Amino acid sequence: MLPEASSLWLLQLLRDTQLAQFYRPILEELNVTRPEHFDFVRPEDLDGIGMGRPAQRRLAESLKRYRSGIKPKNWVYKILGGFAPEQRKTTTPSESLPVLPEPDGGLKCLIPEGAVCRGKLLGSGCFGVVHQGLWTLPNGQTIPVAVKSLRAGPEGPVGTELGDFLREVSIMMNLEHPHVLQLHGLVLGQPLQMVMELAPLGSLHARLTAPAPTPPLPVVLLCLFLRQLAGAMAYLGARGLVHRDLATRNLLLASPQTIKVADFGLVRPLGGAHGRYVMGGPRPIPYAWCAPESLHQGAFSSASDVWMFGVTLWEMFSGGEEPWAGVPPYLILHRLEKERARLPRPPFCSRALYSIALRCWAPHPADRPSFANLEGLLQEAWPCEGRCVRDVTESGALRMESGDPITIIEGSPDSTTWKGQNGRTFKMGNFPASAVTLVDLGGPLATRPVHRGSPLRGERHQGSTDRDREKANLRNLPAARGQRRNVPLQKMKGRAERAWSHPPGVPGGSESLWRRCVYSHSESQGRPPFPPE
Ligand code: AMP
């Protein structure tokens, strides 16, 4: 039988090493059709097709040459006995692992199976389930952890999921940032388990959508979360990584006032001169969060993460609503590009913050702010703090009592009605400006300017339905100073689910890889989706 054109590279590789007799077994028994598939081939697999260890070494060498470029060593793969994955120099579609330094004494991250006991279920994701757990250190100390276990079929873990799981481990173990979820280690048991820092308060999405009587989160706290997120994302970007799945469901609450970026399953290294990662095949992506270039060409970059940051901001201020709810995936791109539509300003999102979201949604990636810039922009958009000077009981007005701390969401000296949040009740609404005086707390934010008055450039085109934008005619408030208040959150509950997009008419979940492919706008116009890997 003639070799398929797509696997000629394999035949050539094997011929170069006088191993051509293994072409069929490697192709058909080990299902290797692309070089990166060797990442998941263990020596025992090659033993199984009758290839001796010296021949295996020759093959590994040849594969290394074939893949040319920098060759990172990756302890995760090394200890699991596979070939070390490598990164290509080009920007061609690749699912390979990033070049990351090995941790000091890498194997310290291996945790004995008996040292971790699993407790209650916290949630479930792409690869399996996440449990709360207790990790007993060699000195007897126990620490609470989260344990993500890889789902396994009857014959062990499924190839892609195993690869993604290990990729997530290998990426996380090299990250250390106060707002990035920390990996403690890996349990090489059955199932494979990732032992992570526990975020006891669950996902931000679950908190945002928690039903009454849980009150909404303080606006200032949301701003703080955004700043933490921008910092964490700047850190990831500086390490040449793109997250690709930024959303409130993937922000975990480690404490009432600390979020951590989690779920590194879709993280990829940025490559080439353009600092992009281009998807090589049909894999599910969170459509409604994605930038147009990701939907069109499967292209991801720090700038597409910034787009997702804008959508995450929108989620935060709309109480965890689903972006583009009710719009079929194939129409989202159309609305973004042809109609220049953007998610509307949520009623309690200030103009200043919404203008940041709009900048994140600039059509051209180069026009979007960087995460480092975003940290500064957020500082500028920080809401002012005020204090109530008289009881407000007028109907339709935000109720407040003298002395209540008030966060001013929108207001200006020449307007008689302001919009804000009562820091005692967490309720939001309009109130008479005369009822609140600005507080000067003299904090680090003292010099920040405050809310912009005139409608934002481009805001009229964004499809906002917020009518009070026209009414308010707000101007800048005098520069006021404020510090963040420590407002206790209510108990968190519930959990967010990963929301993937699917081709129209295809319900989420169990479809074949092909059916789960990104359904791009170009595809809806008759062009094919991304070719399979
Ligand atoms: P994932 O597989 O990462 O999408 O996780 C699935 C769900 O498990 C998340 O939505 C969280 O609710 C929960 N979860 C994951 N990791 C943690 C953690 N470190 N601490 C607490 N809950 C977590």
Which of 116-120, 155-159, 160-164, 387-391 is predicted least confidently? 155-159
Q: DSSP assignment, residue 30?
A: S
Q: What angle do CA 436, 357, 475 make, to 5 degrees?
A: 35
Residue 127 CA: nearest ligand 1 atom is 2
Q: What is the domain partition of the chain in residue ranges?
A: 5-72, 110-197, 204-379+510-523, 382-491
Query: Which of residues 383 and 4 earns the better pLDDT score?
Result: 383
- Mean pLDDT along residues 231-253: 96
Query: What pLDDT shows up at residue 87?
Result: 33
The model's pLDDT over 470-495, given as tens digits with 9 standing for 90+, comes to 232 222 222 222 323 322 222 222 22
Cα diameter, the chain: 88
For residues 236 and 157, is the Cβ–Cβ distance under 8 A? no
199 CB within 6 A, ligand 1:
yes
74 neighbors 84 (Cβ within 8 angstroms): yes
* pLDDT > 60? residue 102: no
Residue 298: is its pLDDT beyond 50? yes
Cβ of 130 closer than 6 Å to ligand 1, yes or no, is yes
Specify the pLDDT at position 465.
29
The model's pTM is 0.69
Contact 450, 381 (CB under 8 A): no
Give the span between the Cα atoms of 125 and 496, in whole angstroms. 10
- Domain 110-197, what architecture? 2-Layer Sandwich (3.30)
Nearest residue (CA) to ligand 1, atom 3 = 263
Q: What distance in Å separates the CA atoms of residue 460 and residue 456, rounded to the nearest whole number?
A: 8
Q: Which two tokens stand for residue 36?
A: 């990166």
Q: Which candidate, 463, 93, 517, places its Cα nearest to that of 330?
A: 517
Q: What is the distance in A from the centroid of ligand 1 to the CA of 482?
A: 34
Give the DSSP letter string of 221-276. HHHHHHHHHHHHHHHHHHTTEE-S--SGGGEEEEETTEEEE---TT-EE-BTTTTB
Residue range 382-491, CATH number: 2.30.30.40
Q: How many residues does the chain have?
A: 533
How confident is the model over 17-54, as pLDDT tens digits? Answer: 888 888 888 887 777 777 777 877 778 888 888 998 88
Minimum mean pLDDT among 144-153, 238-247, 266-275, 451-460: which range? 451-460
Q: Is the pLDDT of residue 462 over 90?
A: no
Measured from the Cα of 498, ligand 1's closest atom is 4
**Whole-angstrom distance, CA of residue 368 vs CA of residue 386:** 32
Average pLDDT of the residues in 343-365 = 97
CATH topology of domain 204-379+510-523: Transferase(Phosphotransferase); domain 1 (1.10.510)
Determine whether 211 is exposed, middle or buried from the number of CB atoms within 10 Å of its CB (0-12, 13-18, 19+). exposed
Q: Does the beta carbon of 266 lie inside 6 Å of ligand 1? A: no
338-352, 386-400, 439-453, 518-532: least confidently modelled range: 518-532
Q: Is 196 in the pocket of ligand 1 (CB under 6 A)?
A: yes
Percent of the chain whose predicted confidence (pLDDT) is above 90: 49
Q: 130 CA distance to ligand 1 centroid (A)? A: 6
**pLDDT higher at 134 or 53:** 134
Neighbours of 213 (CB within 10 A): 6
User: Lowest-pLDDT range, 7-21, 52-66, 319-333?
Assistant: 7-21
* Whether residue 126 has pLDDT greater than 80: no
Distance 416 CA to ligand 1 centre (A): 45
Catalytic positions, written as ranges: 245
Give the single-character DSSP code of 39. Answer: G
Q: Within 13 Å of residue 233, how many CA atoms lie on the same side as its CB?
A: 32
Contact at 8 Å (CB) between 518 and 532?
A: no
Q: Tell me the CA–centroid distance for residue 124 and ligand 1, in Å.
A: 7
